[in-house]
Structure 1
Amino acid sequence: MAIGQTMNEQITGVSSMATRQLLAELVKEYGRISGRRVAIESVGGVDAARRVQAGEPLDIVVLAADALDRLAAAGRIDPASRIELVRSGVAIAVVAGAPRPEIGTEAALRDTILAARSIGYSTGPSGSHLGRLFERWGIAETIAPRIVQAPPGVPVGILVARGDVELGFQQLSELMHLPGIDVIGSLPPEVQIITTFSAAICMASRERDASRAFLSFLASPAASPAKLRHGMEPA
């Protein structure tokens, strides 16, 4: 234990939902090896960024890289503390036991989307990418009445599981652990988007040294197996 560190220190943070399961595992492991307590709340990415922007007394934030760029520009995070955590791709899900449509190529995926009763995606980076993709394909207006956007913090897979959405798109890490759905694959390589999720210390942090040590653990090789287990690649 470092000089001056007490067992009462607690690192607090906020993250988007994509890294929720991963961070839960890594927080538990870090507590076991360090004795430090870490509490990270996972919410919708827009809400997480808003809370940091508002100056909430949080120690760390974990968000998509572009969201951290905006927080850095606003002076809300310490740019020198920033680490790249994971790279994450978008996957596709249907309700458990449903027929698996063809998604192996860009053309096949476009046809499957056009044939779907409803299409669900999130308010996060994957949803923004899909919106641009539908525009590029020239189908945005055709499918607009069938689009269901999950509220911030609500996994798209939940909408799929309860039958609100026939075809759901979200980060693999957010789909792979949910019951009641089948993950049928990832976006084809030609249209796949890889989102980098990063972490940084908030300027409002009261535990800078402890937070820096935790981020070092998140970026270390020791954290890599957990990242892979949760459908992401170490960044």
Structure 2
Amino acid sequence: MPRRRALGLALLLGLTAIGTPAAAREGKAATKAATVRELHVVTSGGFTAAFEALAKTYERDTGIHIVAEHGPSMGDTPQAIPNRLARHEDADVVILARSGLDKLAAQGSIAPDTSVDLGLSKIAMAVKAGAPAPDIATPEALRSTLVHVKSVAWSDSASGVYIQSTMLDRLGVTDQVRPKGRMIPATPVGRVVAEGKAEIGFQQLSELKAVKGIRIVGLIPESLQKVTPFSAGIVAWSPHQAEARALIAYLASPKAYSIIRDSGLEPAAQKAKP
């Protein structure tokens, strides 16, 4: 082979050897970036309205599509978030009542040091649209209302469990109210009230606000109130841990506060669970 041709071939091979690793690295980085275009989030009813609005903004700003599923924070229905994770459903982030999230973390279903409070929720009462608003301004007034109505509904999640197991006892009306009360699984209590299947209904204010056909009477008295933090955590088996963490940081940031308030919640003090 002529010397000039041999030198030219060697130079070409050398340039190729230098360029290939960088090109390969860039190609792999581009492929990795392109794969994380979707995050799966399962949220309970209390944070649903806020999340739907926030997810739209996040999708627009990041280009990452949010696939949202819904389910109660607890309960026996297949849709309940603990039951979804027990089946190892595809999920990157879950948002539910803090008590439920803490149990999932203790079971190893939530990645360590990823639990963050997002919003604080209070319990309210509703009647069907057009119906008179009963007096619930004081514990005594609420006790009288519970005794005299014909039917009552509450959820099978955090607020309903508190009402059924604690509030009725504190008011001394368990024996009078439990026989005419219904715990509603996996369905908004407001919908049951709107359909006339219960005279009054109790649920998180943020969940009642999303239902048409009802009149929200107001929050239950402060001395009886149960404040529920709704919190987010990263699912332990999520393949997108960094992206899930970024989404939670956005949901917990001041950018989200006005939307959280509009949904009927108060922004929570942001502090990761140790």
Q: Tell me the TM-score normalized by structure 1.
A: 0.95
Identity %: 36
- Equivalent in the alignment of 2:196: 163
Choose the corresponding residue for 1:29, options 57, 62, 70: 57
Q: What is the CA-CA distance between 1:18 and the residue it aligns to?
A: 1.5
- Equivalent in the alignment of 2:169: 135
List runs of 5+ in structure 1 lacking aligned partners.
none
Q: What RMSD over aligned residues (CA atoms) do the two structures have, in Å?
A: 1.4
- Equivalent in the alignment of 1:81: 114
Q: How far apart are the structure 2 equivalents of 1:28 and 1:204?
A: 25
- Equivalent in the alignment of 1:117: 150
Q: Supply the AA of the counterpart residue of 1:33.
A: D
Judging by fraction of residues, say which structure has more helix.
2
Q: How far apart are the structure 1 equivalents of 2:158 and 2:265?
A: 15
- Equivalent in the alignment of 1:146: 180
Choose the corresponding residue for 1:13, options 41, 45, 54: 41
Q: What is the CA-CA distance between 1:24 and the residue it aligns to?
A: 0.8
List runs of 5+ in structure 2 lacking aligned partners.
1-28, 75-79, 269-274
Asked if structure 2 preserves the Cα contact closer than 8 Å seen for 1:14 and 1:43, the reply is yes
Judging by fraction of residues, say which structure has more strand.
1
Q: How far apart are the structure 2 equivalents of 1:212 and 1:13?
A: 12
Q: What is the CA-CA distance between 1:7 and the residue it aligns to?
A: 6.8
Q: What is the CA-CA distance between 1:58 and the residue it aligns to?
A: 1.1
Q: Secondary structure at the match of 1:45?
A: coil
After TM superposition, the structure 1 stretch with the greater mean CA deviation from structure 2, 205-214 or 130-139, is: 130-139
Q: How far apart are the structure 1 equivalents of 2:257 and 2:34?
A: 28
Q: Secondary structure at the match of 1:76?
A: coil
Asked if structure 2 preserves the Cα contact closer than 8 Å seen for 1:92 and 1:184, the reply is yes
Q: Supply the AA of the counterpart residue of 1:10.
A: E
1:179 aligns with 2:207: no
Asked if structure 2 preserves the Cα contact closer than 8 Å seen for 1:106 and 1:188, the reply is yes
1:39 aligns with 2:67: yes
- Equivalent in the alignment of 2:267: 234
User: Higher RCO, 1 or 2 (CA under 8 Å, sep at least 6)?
Assistant: 1
Tell me the matched-pair count.
233
Q: How far apart are the structure 2 equivalents of 1:114 and 1:91?
A: 18
Asked if structure 2 preserves the Cα contact closer than 8 Å seen for 1:22 and 1:227, the reply is yes
Q: How far apart are the structure 1 equivalents of 2:36 and 2:225?
A: 44
Larger Cα-atom Rg: 2
Q: Supply the AA of the counterpart residue of 1:225.
A: S
TM alignment of 1:41-120, pairs within 5 A: 41-46=69-74, 47-120=80-153
Q: How far apart are the structure 1 equivalents of 2:119 and 2:212?
A: 24
Q: What is the CA-CA distance between 1:53 and the residue it aligns to?
A: 3.0
After TM superposition, the structure 1 stretch with the greater mean CA deviation from structure 2, 13-22 or 64-73, is: 13-22
Q: What is the CA-CA distance between 1:146 and the residue it aligns to?
A: 0.7
Q: How far apart are the structure 2 equivalents of 1:205 and 1:66?
A: 21
Q: How far apart are the structure 1 equivalents of 2:131 and 2:92?
A: 43
Q: What is the CA-CA distance between 1:168 and the residue it aligns to?
A: 0.6
Asked if structure 1 preserves the Cα contact closer than 8 Å seen for 2:72 and 2:96, the reply is no
Q: How far apart are the structure 1 equivalents of 2:143 and 2:95?
A: 32
Asked if structure 2 preserves the Cα contact closer than 8 Å seen for 1:7 and 1:35, the reply is no
